[in-house]
Structure 1
Amino acid sequence: MAMITTVQQHILQQQQELLKSTGREASGTFSWLLSGITLATKMIEAKIRSAGLSDVLGAVGVENVQGEQQQKLDVYANQAMLHCLGLRDSVAALVSEEDEEPVTFNRDAETGKYILVFDPLDGSSNIDVNVNVGTIFSVLRRMPAELGTLEESILQPGFRQVAAGYVVYGPSTVLVYTTGNGVHGFTLDPKIGAFVLSNERMQMPEQGIYYSVNEANAAGWPEGYRSYVTMLREGGLGKTYSSRYIGSLVADFHRTLLKGGVFLYPPTEKQSKGKLRLLYEANPLAFIAEQGGGVATNGAERILEIRPTGIHQRTPFCVGGRREMEALQSALTGVLTA
């Protein structure tokens, strides 16, 4: 019988490695926290699998805090995350794309050590046409009371994340996460109901052959982005790039992590501050990208260095292999300094 490693076993192995390398005993709190995330995502996966057979497709008829139509599955996914994570004593606050304000718990700093930030169902408008969607999450450690309030702990820059990950719901359901010690991928085995290790220490290729961007918005991009995409199409990096754009952030990022290339969500004339959310979209994916050897910026600075000012703050987002991202920086700098 082939040996398997579940995500919980993998976390425990990493904790044992931490003990060997630093002498610090791991409490097991984080593995218990992660089990809440995996439980919620398995609930979401099961609901998605039966979406065409039950009344969970389509919009609720109201807008969320983002001004976007809430889908029925958005509501279900958000409730699943809030329920499964709110029961963990180690959680001090939950911040969701779907909620205007954080959900906080009256737990002291010694018990409530973590803050979970998440997009419960990214790309949910694609559910109706059976396109991949996903869940994105970020874990922050609550600061000691003498260093900051709970609200200040929520608005920490991305380099202070202690873990980040996403789940892609597609032909198979895949969990990818990092705790700052490489990027690891797990596939949900429906026969045993567990996420099983399938990709250890994932690395983004230094150069790929795909670029991913919504070119319908090209007229509103800054000139540097337009010239950069033209350069990729014309073989300016020694390869002729092909366009691949799904329209679900998690799916587009997952392909970029596996195959290399670049994903772009530039600022536009209508959305000069970008569209993607910093805390629960850009930060976790940037953390994963960097741990996998890639680069993530807003076009001017490293995503993980941006200091948040609000939980729903937006940002331009550019992520990809080192070769593509160096060329992007040159294209944008050239325009800025011309």
Structure 2
Amino acid sequence: MPLTGRQTLTQYLIEQRRRYPAASGNFNALILDVAMACKAIARAVGQGALAGVHGAQTGELGGNSINVQGETQQKLDVLANDYFLRINEWGGHLAGMASEELEAPYPIPAAYPRGSYLLVFDPLDGSSNIDVNLTVGSIFSILRAPSGDEELSEADFLQAGREQVAAGYALYGPSTMLVLSVGDGVDGFTLDKDLGEFMLTHPRMQVPPSTQEFAINASNSRFWEAPVKRFVDECLAGKSGPREKDFNMRWIASMVAEAHRILTRGGVFLYPRDSKDASKPGRLRLLYEANPIGFLIEQAGGRASTGYGPVLQEQPTQLHQRIGLVFGSRHEVERIERYHAEPQAPSEPNPLFCERSLFRV
């Protein structure tokens, strides 16, 4: 037993490595580099307005800087992205990186050795919450790089979620946490700021199969597909409805925070495909958000889906591809998939304007 009474992230990774005697140790070192980037981001987030990095990033021509996603970049978005790049580029573990904030993949500079893994990440999820001091986080995924000396390409990153070697997120809230899966369940670590170490505090996290809590942005209800509207309406009907139980509805606008709540106590999160913007088949990024969170949820016994089928089976076609996502307690996600698979009944007429309406002729 460690002197602190808890296992450090380093000790945990050493134990995991012992399951594979031929392992080189590069994978463990990469995870520790990612953890270091998360510590640096946690420090900047924790300083709040004192750090001088609140607000929108200024572009080259003045005005707000817009990233490849068409979103306004926060100063902390840019700083967090830079931490991930600078801390992970030099160790010799990576062949390249891809970030939500960068249009193209980031190859490892020629000055550093090239490794056998790829790192994809959302450096600061929920960054719209920064200025109001709400929970944000970082999401990351590790893939195997193709063998050989060929120049890195976008196609190298287009791997289905089931191909992930590891995935995790850091949560910057009242405490800083790192939640990680290396393909053998999900474990949570809390940052001991005095020691500067992530300590194992939440071993073998599990998503309960059933829940009475769901999270969705209800302001988009007019754009939802019929199966999603049916599911939400049934939840809102409570004990008197077809579900015969009351549900709580949540929405934090930070997927890391939503995922952590579900990993801690169960629930279901919905950011489904809708008709708000026909050019986008969803809102969340497949590589940077849906795949790593889906990997964690399924490693913890939950289910992650597009609403139609497992998200980890989706074959990416673009680096910044978007997708609808539903994840959490297995029974609820399976219900949503079933609703999508069932034939859809014709839409009911609006009662205000039907034959026997309030506006009778």
TM-score by length of 2: 0.88
The whole-number CA distance in structure 2 between the counterparts of 1:87 and 1:182 is 29
Deviates more, 1:1-10 or 1:67-76: 1-10
SS of alignment partner, residue 342 of structure 2: helix
How far did residue 6 of structure 1 move? 1.0
Deviates more, 1:115-124 or 1:46-55: 46-55
The whole-number CA distance in structure 1 between the counterparts of 2:194 and 2:151 is 45
Out of 239, 246, 251, which is 1:240 matched to? 246
1:33 aligns with 2:37: no
Q: Which residue does the alignment assign to 2:357? A: none
Out of 304, 308, 324, which is 1:300 matched to? 308
Normalized per residue, the structure richer in strand is 1
Q: Which residue does the alignment assign to 2:15? A: 13
Q: Which residue does the alignment assign to 1:184? A: 187
Task: Give the partner amino acid of 1:31.
Answer: N
- Alignment check: 8 A CA contact 1:223 1:335 kept: no
Alignment of 1:201-220 (within 5 A): 201-220=204-223
How far did residue 239 of structure 1 move? 2.6
Q: Which residue does the alignment assign to 1:276? A: 284
The whole-number CA distance in structure 2 between the counterparts of 1:283 and 1:299 is 14
Q: Which residue does the alignment assign to 2:43? A: 46
Out of 317, 340, 347, which is 1:309 matched to? 317
CA 65–147 in structure 1, closer or farther in 2 if over 3 Å, else same: closer
The whole-number CA distance in structure 2 between the counterparts of 1:297 and 1:177 is 20
Alignment of 1:135-174 (within 5 A): 135-145=138-148, 150-174=153-177
The whole-number CA distance in structure 2 between the counterparts of 1:211 and 1:336 is 23
1:288-331 per-position Cα deviation (integer Å, ceiling 9, x unaligned): 01000011111112111111111100000000111111211122
Deviates more, 1:126-135 or 1:265-274: 265-274
The whole-number CA distance in structure 2 between the counterparts of 1:2 and 1:78 is 32
Q: Which residue does the alignment assign to 2:266? A: 260
How far did residue 270 of structure 1 move? 2.2
The whole-number CA distance in structure 2 between the counterparts of 1:14 and 1:100 is 34
The whole-number CA distance in structure 2 between the counterparts of 1:336 and 1:101 is 40
Structure 1: segments with no counterpart, 5+ residues? none
TM-score by length of 1: 0.94
Identity of aligned residues (%): 42
1:223 aligns with 2:226: yes
How far did residue 238 of structure 1 move? 4.3
Aligned residues: 332
Q: Which residue does the alignment assign to 1:332? A: 340
Deviates more, 1:148-157 or 1:119-128: 148-157
Q: Which residue does the alignment assign to 2:359? A: none
- Alignment check: 8 A CA contact 1:142 1:150 kept: no
Q: Which residue does the alignment assign to 2:353? A: none
- Alignment check: 8 A CA contact 1:143 1:150 kept: no
Task: Give the partner amino acid of 1:5.
Answer: Q
CA 335–123 in structure 1, closer or farther in 2 if over 3 Å, else same: farther
The whole-number CA distance in structure 2 between the counterparts of 1:125 and 1:237 is 34
1:89-110 per-position Cα deviation (integer Å, ceiling 9, x unaligned): 1110110000000101267xx9
How far did residue 117 of structure 1 move? 0.2
Out of 112, 118, 123, which is 2:121 matched to? 118
Task: Give the partner amino acid of 1:264.
Answer: L
The whole-number CA distance in structure 1 between the counterparts of 2:67 and 2:134 is 22
The whole-number CA distance in structure 2 between the counterparts of 1:268 and 1:323 is 22
Q: Which residue does the alignment assign to 1:193? A: 196
1:228-252 per-position Cα deviation (integer Å, ceiling 9, x unaligned): 0111222444431100110111001
The whole-number CA distance in structure 1 between the counterparts of 2:261 and 2:343 is 29
Out of 64, 89, 94, which is 1:91 matched to? 94
1:77-135 per-position Cα deviation (integer Å, ceiling 9, x unaligned): 0000000011121110110000000101267xx95200000000001110100110000
Larger Rg: 2
CA 254–271 in structure 1, closer or farther in 2 if over 3 Å, else same: farther
The whole-number CA distance in structure 2 between the counterparts of 1:44 and 1:202 is 24
SS of alignment partner, residue 192 of structure 1: coil
- Alignment check: 8 A CA contact 1:224 1:335 kept: no
How far did residue 145 of structure 1 move? 3.9
The whole-number CA distance in structure 1 between the counterparts of 2:268 and 2:203 is 22
The whole-number CA distance in structure 2 between the counterparts of 1:111 and 1:336 is 52
Q: Which residue does the alignment assign to 1:130? A: 133
